Amino acid sequence: MRVLGVDPGLTRCGIGIVDVAANRRATLVYVGVVQTPPTMALEQRLLAVSRGIRLALDEYRPTAMAVERVFAQHNLRTVMGTAQASGIALALGAEFGLAVGLHTPSEVKAAITGYGAAEKAQVGAMVARVLGLVAVPKPADAADALALAICHAWRGSAGGDFDTRPAVAALSAGATPAQLAWRAAERKAVSR
């Protein structure tokens, strides 16, 4: 399956696309970040987000979309812009006929690192390892969008209740060198 992940935001909106095979091997298709300055009119910033996501949908035709679930509880100052950007992403997903999933940051971290309270840097490092990248995608919003897409594919393919350690399950069955390195790093991270 080809999944487009969106880490919604106004200052930086991460967009990542991955192909995930039946054996859970994930490969990078696209990654980008829509950046707009706070001095730009709100509607223009949202239009830039809309255009960035639409371009990726038009160009790469994903079969599913994953968007970070936004909560009103934390960071009230920026949450409205984040929610507005997520609404645009979700409506575009429906417009393109995609299966759309919402995942919390904890769910993404658990799926990618096996640890729901993992730090951002750990998530980025795991994303790079899973995708076989020589460097962690920057800024963090890019890595987060890819993590969302991978999380969505892994959670979806698991079916039924959510396995909090699907990454480990995937590694147990035929790990690549990159995945082995990732598993070693994961153990190191979790044991800290």
Q: Scanning residues 73 to 132, which ones bind a second copy (CB under 8 A)? A: 73, 76, 79-80, 83-88, 90-91, 93-95, 100, 102
34 binds a second copy per the rule CB under 8 A = no
44 binds a second copy per the rule CB under 8 A = yes
What's the angle, vertex CA 12, arms to CA 151 and CA 61, rounded to 5?
Answer: 50
149 binds a second copy per the rule CB under 8 A = no
HEC string for 160-192: CCCCCCHHHHHHHCCCCHHHHHHHHHHHHHHHC
Instruction: Say whether 68 is catalytic.
Output: yes
Instruction: Say whether 95 is catalytic.
Output: no
User: CA 125 to CA 130: how far, in whole Å?
Assistant: 9
Q: Which stretch, 37-45, 55-63, 162-170, 177-185, contacts a second copy (CB under 8 A)?
A: 37-45
36 binds a second copy per the rule CB under 8 A = no
Of these residues, 107, 141, 144, 186, which one is catalytic? 141
User: CA 82 to CA 178: how far, in whole Å?
Assistant: 33
43 binds a second copy per the rule CB under 8 A = yes
80's tokens: 């409205």
The sign of the torsion formed by the CA atoms of 135, 152, 66, 103 equals: negative
12's tokens: 């930086």
51's tokens: 């255009």
180 binds a second copy per the rule CB under 8 A = no
C-beta of 21 vs 72, nearer to a second copy: 72
What are the residues binding a second copy (CB under 8 A)?
Answer: 41-44, 46-47, 49-50, 65, 70-73, 76, 79-80, 83-88, 90-91, 93-95, 100, 102
Catalytic positions, written as ranges: 7, 68, 141
